[in-house]
Structure formats: structure tokens, C-alpha cells
Amino acid sequence: MKKTELSDRQLLDMIIRNDFPMFVELAFGVVYPDSEWNANWHIVCLAWRLQQMADGKVDPRLVVNMPPRSLKTFIVSVCFPAWLLVRDPTIPIIVATYSDDLSKKSARDFAALIQSPLVFRLSRGRLSNPRKFTESEFETAKGGGRLATSVGGTLTGRGGDVLIIDDTLKADDAASEAKRTSVNSWFNDTLHSRRNRPGKTLMIVCMQRLHADDLAGNLIEQNWPSLVMPSIAVERTEYDIGDEKPLVREPGDPLQPARDDLDELAKTKKQIGSYAFSAQYQQTPEPATGNMIKREWLGSYSVAPSRNQFSQIYLVCDPAGKAGTHNDYTAIVVVGIVKRQIYVLEVRRGHWNTLRIKSEIESLAREHCATRLIIETTGMGEGVRQEIERESRFDIIGTQPRDDKVTRVSRVITRFELGHVRLPENADWLSDFKSEILSFPSGRYDDQLDALIMILEDLADHDSDADYSGVQIDTQTFWRPNPYAILDARW
């Protein structure tokens, strides 16, 4: 009988060592014995993804964006290191958080778990006689362990097979460009070099979103895999939970209905404000109703007017300072004018060199039969303007805005408020363009908006109600020089 009971327990322990979601549930009872365990699919989803990473079945990098009180720190920073060491006590793990207090809190929870009978049994006692065990560091007799540090801390001489970054910024610091830059620089310059096995080291950034330019946003833009779970689903999304069929969230579904239903989330939004709720709870750090420019001000259209209805077709380019993915985008916006209505026809942006910018301008000018071309002559813009002018194919105006962007937006904001700016109902570029407009001035990028503002400024400088219907397009070349160009504009 004893042999059968021992065999059953050995079998169960073997299952737990190879089933991280099950380990998380058992570990919760160890670390929080007086708390009720509320099983929810998002816990299984995150735990399953981490197990897939540990088993080498998916990309070793991951950005996790989840709202507060969703157990993300417990799963990622406490349970995952313990489970990995149960399986292999030689693994070195580094866990970094934004503050020493938070780092010590998760380290204490980890200590409670690593000293528990559960871990003793699963590890067969291999973790019971550590070489080092302090508030910030646990080192096994085999050389592996967990080092707790703070974001920005020194890691000289230390490396890891697993690097975990858990909450990089306090919410109060998110608006500070200096502090966001400091976190991003520390990640790129310090932590990234601590990988013991480049290409195989597990790297997990776990945080609630706080700003469009936070670390998670930067990494997602660099094509890091991400697991994003908003408090309220905004679109139909499938999540892998280890079963044959994925779990499907429909728009409007709350993440943890047993804990935060829609009514409770509405109260939270009212309490903390739409911007904080959008970032921390919805993982989209743009306010639902916009900053300077409100969502309800943006008009829309299903079908653009025909070409002969436009009195003017603008093409404006806001070039980056220089090419390269680490620099700003170059943005090109094409707009058609019908009386006082401004129809945004197309938007393109990219990290382009001067030849590519020139090619994009010429291509769009022909495609849309643009009648007024403007380029900002800072950065690469002047070189592009000179190249286009040298070939004498297009008449393009150079300009240099003199005021800051907030001031410039303020001058033309009435155009938005009156609903004159119209966007298409569907376009590949629409989501990024609208997000940039609504997040200004707190968003990371404003290149597309800047190009649009140059158009509105030009309209303000000229009589936008004037009749430009006499402008004709040569159907053979799709171009004739713009009769309204400022001929002596040479910046």
C-alpha cells in the first residue's frame, strides 16, 4: 500500500515539474495561505506561455502587459524562477524592478516559496542547502539562483540565463522623459549585455503600460513577441492556453469578471481618469477621448470625393533628422480640400534615406495628382527638396516651423473641433495615425500629425475658401507646376 501511495506522489510531482500552470496554483497557497485562489484563464495563459519559453518551443523574448492586481508579478517574478530552479538548480536568474522595496517584496515571496515543503519535495531537497541566501540573492549549491536588483542598478560581473524585468517605472514617473530614457538606456546598455547565452537567454518584460514611449512600447515596436491582456477586450482575440482550441475573448469581455466586472471597471476609470485607465488597465497608453484633440472631433468618410471635386490636393512631408530605425519616422500625408473640409487621403511613414523619401514623394504626387507639395527642410528635408528641384519635375515648397508643436496645434485646433478633418473609415495606416493624433502631446511620435499641421497652417495662411478649381492636371505626366507656389521660398 505504501509503495502505491509513494508511486502516486512521485507521478504527481513529475507532472508538477512539467506543468507550470499547476505549479502556480499550488504555489499561491504556499505564499498566500490566507487568500482565496480565484482561478482565471489569464493565469493559465501566461503560465503556459512561460512554460513554452522554458521548453524552447517559442521565442525566448516576451513582453507581458496586464492590468494591476492580475498576479503577473507573482507568476513571473516569484513562481517562474522557483519552478525553473526546481527543474535545474544551475540556472542563474536576474529579476529587476523599478524600486528596492518592490524588489525586496517579490524576493520575500520567492524565499517563502523556495523554503516550502512543496519545493523541497519537487526538487528532492536539492535547494535546501543554498550557498547564499540573503534578502536580495538566493544561490543554490549548484551555482544557480535568483538575484533581485532594481532597474538602473549595476550588474558588473553578473549574468543570467533568465532575465526578468518587472514593472520598470512608477506611474508617477511615466511622464518624465528623462526617467523613461534612463530605463530604456539601462535595458539596452546594461541588462542586454548580461545575457549568458545570446539568442537563448529568456528575457521577459512584465509591466502595465504607462506611456507610449515606455520600455514595453519600445520593445513591441522592435517586434518583440507580446502577450497583451486589457481589462476590457476591444477586439476579438484568441489566446493560447495549452488546449487544442484557443480561448476567445470577444469585444467587451472583462479580463477577470469574478474580480472586476464592467461596473467595477467603470468606477475605476472614473476614479483614476481615462488616460491612466487606458494605459494601465487597457494597455493602450493613449486617452480614450484624446489629449488636445478629442476623438469625437474627428470626422470620417466612407468614399472620398472624386478628383475633380478637390480644389487643392496637398502632399506634405515631415522628414526625420536622419535615417535608421532608432530615429524618428519620416511621414508623408496627402490631403484633399473641398471647401472647408479636409479629407486625409493617404499616410505613409518609414525609416527612409533621402532617395527613398524622394521616391515616395514622387510616387504619391503622381498617384494623387498633388497640386501643392511642401517639405520641412530640417534634417534630411533640404537635401530631398534640392534633389526634386534639380530634376525640375515637381514644384516643392520648403518650410521650417518656428514654434513648438503644442503652440502650432493650438492655432489650428478649431479645424478639428469643427469636424473639418475627415479620416477614412478603413485604411491600413488609420490606426497608427489616429493613435498619434489622440495621444498628442504625450505620445512618443508626432511626425504624421506634424505633417497634417503643416497643411492646416498653410490653409490658414491662404484663403482656404478660394476657388482653386481652375487648377488642371496634365493627364500625361500627372503633374503641372503649382500656380500657387511661393516662388522665392529657398530655405
| Neighbouring C-beta atoms of residue 189, cutoff 10 Å | 9
Tell me which residue range forms the domain holding 368.
295-461
Predicted local confidence at residue 287, as pLDDT? 57
Same domain, 270 and 359: no
Give yes or no for residue 226 having a pLDDT over 80: yes
Boundary (domain end) residue, out of 281, 314, 333? 281
476 within a domain of the structure (yes/no): no
115 within a domain of the structure (yes/no): yes
Give yes or no for residue 7 having a pLDDT over 70: no
Give yes or no for residue 5 having a pLDDT over 60: no
39 within a domain of the structure (yes/no): yes
Give yes or no for residue 19 having a pLDDT over 90: yes
Distances (CA, A) of 264 to 69, 191, 269, 284, 405: 14, 38, 9, 19, 38
Same domain, 264 and 306: no
Same domain, 271 and 301: no
Number of domains into which the chain is organized: 2
Whether the Cβ atoms of residue 348 and residue 430 lie closer than 8 Å to each other: no
Predicted local confidence at residue 277, as pLDDT? 85
What CATH number corresponds to the domain at position 18?
3.40.50.300
- Average pLDDT score over the chain: 86
Percent of the chain scoring above 70 in pLDDT: 90
113 within a domain of the structure (yes/no): yes
Percent of the chain scoring above 90 in pLDDT: 54
How many Å apart are CA 39 and CA 27, to the nearest integer?
13
What CATH number corresponds to the domain at position 338?
3.30.420.240
78 within a domain of the structure (yes/no): yes
Distances (CA, A) of 350 to 22, 288, 373, 381: 45, 26, 19, 14
Same domain, 372 and 232: no
pLDDT digit string, tens, across residues 397-441: 999 988 888 878 888 888 998 899 999 999 989 988 998 999 888
pLDDT digit string, tens, across residues 58-98: 999 999 999 999 999 999 999 999 999 999 999 999 998 98
The rounded Cα 462 to chain-centroid distance in angstroms is: 39
Same domain, 300 and 274: no
Same domain, 271 and 352: no
Same domain, 325 and 428: yes
Reported pTM: 0.62
Boundary (domain end) residue, out of 249, 281, 313? 281
pLDDT digit string, tens, across residues 446-486: 899 999 999 999 998 875 444 333 333 333 333 333 333 33
160 within a domain of the structure (yes/no): yes
**DSSP element (H, E) containing 401:** none
Q: Which residues contact 38 (CB under 8 A, 6 or more apart)?
A: 256, 258, 259
Predicted local confidence at residue 480, as pLDDT? 36
Same domain, 181 and 324: no
Same domain, 324 and 252: no
Same domain, 229 and 90: yes
488 within a domain of the structure (yes/no): no
| Closest C-alpha among 22, 25, 75, 33 to residue 11 | 22
Give yes or no for residue 393 having a pLDDT over 90: no
Q: Which of the four pLDDT bands, split at 50, 70 and 90, describes residue 48? A: very high
Same domain, 441 and 303: yes
Same domain, 92 and 163: yes
Position 93, amino acid = I
Per mean pLDDT, which range of 110-124, 234-248, 291-305, 465-479 is the poorest? Answer: 465-479
Whether the Cβ atoms of residue 148 and residue 104 lie closer than 8 Å to each other: yes
170 within a domain of the structure (yes/no): yes
Predicted local confidence at residue 123, as pLDDT? 93
| Neighbouring C-beta atoms of residue 291, cutoff 10 Å | 17
